[in-house]
Amino acid sequence: MKFSIQRNEIYEALQKVVSVLPARSTIPMTQNVLFVAEGDQLELMATDLEITIISNVKAAIEKEGSVAIPGRLIHDIIRELPNVSLNFDTDSKFRTTLSSEFGQYKVGGENPAEFPRKPDILDGREIVLPNGVLKRLVEKTIFATSADELRPALTGVFFELGGHRIRTVATDGHRLSMLSYVDEALPETDLNAIISTKALNFVLRSLDGEGLTSILLGEKHAQFHMENTLLYARLIEENYVDYTRVIPAETNFRMTIDTNDFLSSVKRVSLFSSPVTAQVILSIKKSFVTIHAEDVDYGGEAREEIPCEFNGDEFVIGFNSRYLQNILRHIDSQLLNVELIRPDNAILLLPEDKPENEDQLMLLMPIRLE
């Protein structure tokens, strides 16, 4: 294998794949990045066996071939070089020489035949989404995933397709976030997958610009095809919870409030809440809501009143302010509708304005008050 390429170009491609390299691994091969030079393309591939990322970049290829090279080392040396032309040359024993006007760096490579193969997706179903939509589908839900290994399904985002609609759902049992997007081009038949937060964070990082992303969903893997980047994620093979059961069909009251005012107020007041419970209490009245927090141990206390519209008389409910803030941060609408049932039931948060074809719903469970 022999090729030359500008430093900035290979560095950008390498950065995309190198972050997937596992910090430690029982399989030494996965510490490598696979280089494949073919036609006028250089393909870089790295994997931690859960996620595989492939990045493509144009290069002047003199001799086609491939090699597996220690990923961090090659990344670190290229990072330290300015934007000059770099030449790569691999001998028959996979020893690879990187040369530039600064000098020569030799690194022992490995037989590319031993590098883990990328997953085969047979009978996959393809959907295509604008990058902006995919970004929202992931960003608006991923924060609500669970870290609880006891329920692996909840550590990922649930992708649910059917009826020309794609819906993403994430929940950890305390809050639930759901975003739906409707498009005639989306499949009518049902199709589901749970994708790990780790894979989706890589997807978010690679989603730049306006373009389109094609998603291929198979039995065991999903493939995200973005511009110059291909990502394979092993699916979380579990049944997702029946989340529809926990979404209340009917509510008793509605509060309408300015999202930003609400968030700013909760942020300020929660500084005075007990660090253990992070509890803030909302006392909602006809035209205003009082947000109150108290730290009994240290004597701190804060109270604010902000305007709202409420169709009940008085309603008192407590929340973990971290959860509440997190949810409010993911609502873009200027006005927010909060639907309430009883102080020990979930509240529904629904944005008043939303992009066309889109539906957003969040649920938050309260803290049991004494």
Decide whether 122 or 150 has the Cβ nearer to another protein. Answer: 150
Q: Read off the DSSP letter of residue 367.
A: B
What does the binding site for another protein look like in residue numbers (CB under 8 A)? 146-148, 150, 171-174, 176, 241, 245-246, 277, 279, 320, 323, 344, 346, 363, 365-370
* Residue 244 contacts residue 167 (beta carbons within 8 Å): no
* Residue 7 contacts residue 102 (beta carbons within 8 Å): no
Quote the least distance from Cβ 177 to another protein, whole Å.
12
Decide whether 84 or 369 has the Cβ nearer to another protein. Answer: 369
Decide whether 221 or 292 has the Cβ nearer to another protein. Answer: 292
Decide whether 171 or 265 has the Cβ nearer to another protein. Answer: 171
Quote the least distance from Cβ 246 to another protein, whole Å.
4
Quote the least distance from Cβ 104 to another protein, whole Å.
48
Quote the least distance from Cβ 11 to another protein, whole Å.
38
Can you tell me the distance from the alpha carbon of 67 to that of 339, in angstroms, rounded to the nearest whole number? 58
Q: Where are the alpha helices (DSSP H) in 126-258?
A: 131-142, 197-206
The helix or strand, by DSSP H or E, that contains position 236, with its residue range, turns out to be none
Can you tell me the distance from the alpha carbon of 272 to that of 279, in angstroms, rounded to the nearest whole number? 9
Decide whether 17 or 363 has the Cβ nearer to another protein. Answer: 363
Question: What is the residue whose two structure tokens read 């110059």?
Answer: 228
The helix or strand, by DSSP H or E, that contains position 263, with its residue range, turns out to be helix 259-270
Q: Read off the DSSP letter of residue 238.
A: S
Quote the least distance from Cβ 325 to another protein, whole Å.
15
Instruction: Give percent helix, percent strand, percent coil of the chain, each to the nearest 5.
Output: 20, 45, 35
Decide whether 113 or 296 has the Cβ nearer to another protein. Answer: 296
Edge to edge, the sheet with strand 288-295 lists 300-307, 288-295, 279-285, 314-320
Quote the least distance from Cβ 171 to another protein, whole Å.
7
Decide whether 356 or 370 has the Cβ nearer to another protein. Answer: 370
Decide whether 68 or 346 has the Cβ nearer to another protein. Answer: 346
Quote the least distance from Cβ 316 to another protein, whole Å.
15
Quote the least distance from Cβ 329 to another protein, whole Å.
19
* Straight-line distance from the first to the last Cα atom of the chain, in angstroms, rounded to the nearest whole number: 71
Which string of DSSP letters, residue by residue, matches 280-344? Answer: EEEEEESSEEEEEEEETTTTEEEEEEEE-EESSSEEEEEEEHHHHHHHHHT--SSEEEEEE--TT
Closest CA to 86 of 94, 95, 78: 78
Contacts of 80 (CB under 8 A, 6+ apart): none
Decide whether 87 or 274 has the Cβ nearer to another protein. Answer: 274
Can you tell me the distance from the alpha carbon of 55 to that of 33, in angstroms, rounded to the nearest whole number? 11
Quote the least distance from Cβ 194 to another protein, whole Å.
17
Question: What is the residue whose two structure tokens read 């992009």?
Answer: 355
The overall longest dimension of the chain from CA atoms, in Å, is 81
Decide whether 130 or 343 has the Cβ nearer to another protein. Answer: 343
Closest CA to 268 of 324, 347, 186: 324
Quote the least distance from Cβ 257 to another protein, whole Å.
22
Rg for the chain, CA atoms, rounded: 25
